[in-house]
Chain A
Amino acid sequence: MTVSKRMSGGGRAAWWAGLACATFVLAACSGDSGGKGDQPVKSDDLVSSMSPAKGDVDLVKWNLDSEPDTLDPANAATYPSGTVVKNLCDPLLTVDADYNLSPYLADYEVVDPRTIVFTVRDDATFWDGTPVTAEDVAFSMQRYMKPDYILSFVFANVRSVEVTGANQVTVSFKTPDELFINEMPAIVILEKAFTERAGDDLGTPSGGIMCSGPFELKDWTSGRDLTITRNDAYWNADRRAFAKTVQFSWVGDGTALTQALAAGEIDGAYEISAAAVPALRKATVGRLTFGPSMQSTNLNIANPGGVLGDPKIREAMQVAIDRESMADVIFNGAAAPVYTAVTPETWPNDQKPAYQAAYDRWAETRAYDPAAGKSLVAESGYDGTRIVLAIQAGDETSSRAAQLIQQQLKAVGLQVRIQSFPPLVFSQAGYDATKRKGMDVMLTSNFNGAHDPVEFIGFSFLPGSPYNYTDLDDPQLTKLIEDARQTFDSDQRAQMLIEAQDLYEADNDVIPLVSTYTTTFLNDRLTGAVTSFAYWSMPALAYVGAAK
């Protein structure tokens, strides 16, 4: 005889319990889902920096995408690493929130196209009190030049860096290089003695660094947090930090970060993903701010030849995609349509009218027109082969964008197959042609480090350059780009680059989609943050302080 199970009050209780649990779960989950097409942010609503801070604060808790992999400035190329390093270390030249370049640790003079002389200021000191000298500057720059370092590309055209006076460092070039000046905000100065002693440990949690910036590295517990404290003896009163301590966390999971921000446990974060925007718009403890950024999301033709070797198909793709919808719906309003590979935010401040005129022509040529797209496809030799669209796995926005593209290309008669790749493979495919076999077009996110179109154009449209996937080799184009890089005159350079743009855009190797905004979340008890992408080139956290 076994114990019999009677359907009793217990059974019914179980049913109610189950229903209660289900309702619980639904109620908890529904708080996070946002609506589609939240009101788009007009470019006039973009803000480069918030209203200035009113007073000091004791602690600011800031989130990074992930733990910095290193604080060695020569290798600090990721968002988290770069953000922290720029708050700790000073560059020779700096930018403000609107990318206006100005002297910082040094002033410079272009003595002749192949020689730039930096004059180092005499009142800057490192955290340990020792002065910043020309030796430290020359040492730091020479260190960047080692080919092992990620940022060594900045010095590609430099022949030598030498101390040529008490406060003077001279950089000699193999070929003239105006981009070098615009890359300077990324090049920071380390103390020579400390760096030599630290050896391979420099920039690791155990080794630390010695710099001269508005914050000092207080503590880095690997895996837990990274803390920086205000340098009370900072040589530049204009950038004295408001926050006494900034504690960095690295909650990588989007949902977890949103919840932490909404609960006020983290004060702020840059690079809020488009997917998190709807939930954060509803947060009551803080606000989202959208700022201008040089970042963009594009389609890159991945190989010469193949299905997309046909120019008419590429032209069709340019007009088949509704960039406005993509910006509003897929990017939740945190982006704007863009019609050239070089985004409007990248134009030099003094050349905007010239670039705008050229841009407007492209915006007209590439305006959304599915009917035109259909006829272009009909005229082309398209035989129905599936176009392989490669995306990086694990990113919700990429996935949705790819689906929209697939749908809209289908509407003009092009068949697309979406294929996702793990991040490591996808990043390798970014520079290794063998990994791109089998891909026809890649959905990529791009950003410039320097506020200078030559950087992106050089990497993308010169023969043999890393992002030139279609083996584009136009001698006239090459000459324009190389000449532009060697021209220090701003007007002349703009002319050359606009001409170059007309050539490479006509080849349709890049189908620009949207220019993404820098999206920042900040708790209402704070203000002052730099909210344009210039934050990445500045000690942005020095500006964050009390709102009242």
Chain B
Amino acid sequence: MTATTDVTPVRAMRAAVRPSGIGARIATTVVGAAATVLTASFVIFAALSLAPGDPVSLLLGPHATDEARTAKRAELGLDDPLLVRYWHWLTDALQGRFGTSFTYREGVTTLIGPRLETTLLLVAMAAVLIVVVGIGLGVLGGVSDRWSAVVSAATGLGIAVPTFVAASVLISVFAVQLGWFPTFGAGDGLLDSVWHLVLPALALSVGYGAYVTQLTAAAVREEAGKEHVVTSRGRGIPHRLILRRHVLRNAALPVMTASGLALAGLVAGALVVEEAFGIDGIGALLVKSVSGKDYPVVTAVSLIIVVVFVVVTTVIDVAQVLLDPRQRRAA
């Protein structure tokens, strides 16, 4: 016979040592996110530095004199040590000054502004498709035996087809042959832009959407096979109620994680779609700037992508804590 250990003093000690509560948990997550963004910015800056090539060669052309090149490098601060350059960039960036593009000779914020709008619209449309169609198909595939194999095959195809192939096929069929949509560009004005971005959003959502569908189907299937669900069905509770209360609610967590990760990756994935459809968004801007080693633009755009990724994953983390009673209690 053992005496029950009184754990209350232990709990009190732990509480005194480690901050507890949802607020603290959220705070540590946010601090972690900021640290991630900072580290990523340095890694990107250093990586670009290590890449071969001198940005000045594109700026001055092949006929420039050596003196002109040296002068330009000094003007752009390209000969300073890496940490010095990074520090200058960081201090300016924290004050909202992102500098001037080497190749465009225009302010980075002016360059990014309109392009960011385009990319965000594209990403938003793809996100809607992923959430509505992706999750919808996943639920269908998880719940219905009849559809399970079809959804599985479609998912396999979606994951296998590279984005640029999907883009090419979509343009070929729906734009060139059928003429329902334009072949390129982002359009002018909201309605026109939405029409232009239908095919790009489709191309972008194929890969990520398939991933979400697959995970959703797996999660739903797993939940539907659990004992409490089988028992409820055995007791005659209506299917729809079981689906909503037991299966979907419990599957929500992994589905949310999968969707969140997919959405976070959309901005980076938009790069390929923008190139294939001739859309000048931040993805296309990034490609051009990287090949010209245009530091100010590359770092700013990369930062945006990293921040989006970190924000979305942080929101998921926080949402998980809030939604899952088990995690709430542990906090």
Contacts and interface: CB of A to CB of B under 8 A. Distances in A.
Contact of B292 (A14, A25, A252, A424): A424
A194 interface: no
A467 B148 CA distance: 64
A67 B64 CA distance: 23
Nearest to A431: B62
A32 B171 CA distance: 12
A148 B72 contact: yes
Query: Interface centre among A24, A31, A206, A265, by most B CB within 10 Å?
Result: A265
B172 A256 contact: no
A24 B278 contact: no
Interface string B38-69: 00000000000001111101101111110110
Given A66-B288, A425-B52, A32 B172 contact: yes
B305 to A, nearest CB: 17
B176 A263 contact: yes
Interface in A492-544: none
B293 to A, nearest CB: 6
Interface string A64-94: 0011011000000100000000000000000
Contacts of B62: 427, 430-431, 466-467
Nearest to A430: B62
A24 B169 contact: yes
Interface residues of B, number: 69
Interface in A398-438: 422-425, 427-428, 430-432
Interface string A193-231: 000000010011110000000000000011110000000
B87 interface: no
Interface in B75-123: 103-106, 110-111, 114-115, 118
Given A28-B172, A148-B68, A259-B184, A206 B148 contact: no
B208 interface: no
Contact of B275 (A252, A259, A428, A467): A252
B57 A424 contact: yes
Contacts of A28: 168-169, 172-173
Nearest to B111: A222
B202 interface: no
A426 B145 CA distance: 57
A29 B166 CA distance: 10
Contacts of A259: 171-172, 175-176, 183-184
Interface string B141-185: 000011111101110110001000100110111011001001111
Interface in A468-507: none
B145 A424 contact: no
Contacts of B317: none
A32 B230 CA distance: 53
Nearest to B222: A2
Interface stretch (A5-13, A103-111, A364-372): A5-13
Contacts of B212: none
Contacts of B52: 422, 424-425
A92 to B, nearest CB: 21
B145 to A, nearest CB: 6
| Interface-centre pick from A204, A256, A257 (highest chain B CB count, 10 A) | A256
Contacts of A3: 145, 221, 224-225
A7 B285 CA distance: 48
A206 B106 contact: yes
A349 interface: no
Interface in A164-209: 200, 203-206
Contacts of A432: 54, 57
Given A10-B149, A265-B182, A205 B54 contact: no
A29 B169 contact: yes
Interface stretch (A15-23, A40-48, A129-137, A375-383): A15-23
A263 B199 CA distance: 15
A25 B157 CA distance: 11
B211 interface: no
Contacts of B201: none
A422 B172 contact: no
Contact of A70 (B54, B105, B165, B173): B105
B184 to A, nearest CB: 5
A467 to B, nearest CB: 8
Contacts of B277: 256
Interface in A113-146: none
B115 A223 contact: yes
A385 to B, nearest CB: 24
Nearest to B277: A256
B186 interface: yes
A15 B152 CA distance: 10
A249 B72 CA distance: 30
A253 B103 contact: no
B131 interface: no
A335 interface: no
Nearest to A22: B157
Nearest to A12: B149
A17 B153 contact: yes
B154 A17 contact: yes
Contact of B230 (A1, A9, A10, A222): A1
Contacts of A251: 184-185, 278
Interface in B261-299: 275-278, 280-281, 284-285, 288, 291-293
A336 to B, nearest CB: 25
A153 B63 CA distance: 7
A548 to B, nearest CB: 23
Interface in B182-214: 182-186, 188
A442 interface: no
A253 B271 CA distance: 13
B72 A15 contact: no
A153 B214 CA distance: 61
Contacts of B71: 148
A11 B61 contact: no
A55 interface: no
A276 interface: no
Contacts of B284: 223, 252
B149 A257 contact: no
A255 B179 CA distance: 17
Which 7 A-B pairs rank lowest in CB-CB distance, beginning with the nearest? A424-B53, A251-B278, A14-B153, A150-B61, A223-B280, A14-B149, A153-B63
21 contacts: A5-B148, A10-B148, A15-B153, A18-B153, A25-B169, A28-B172, A32-B172, A77-B61, A147-B64, A148-B71, A205-B110, A206-B110, A222-B106, A222-B111, A223-B114, A223-B118, A250-B280, A256-B278, A263-B175, A425-B53, A432-B54
Given A8-B149, A14-B153, A431-B62, 6 more contacts: A13-B149, A32-B168, A67-B280, A70-B105, A223-B280, A255-B276
Interface of B: 51-55, 57-58, 60-65, 67-68, 71-72, 103-106, 110-111, 114-115, 118, 145-150, 152-154, 156-157, 161, 165, 168-169, 171-173, 175-176, 179, 182-186, 188, 221, 224-225, 230, 275-278, 280-281, 284-285, 288, 291-293
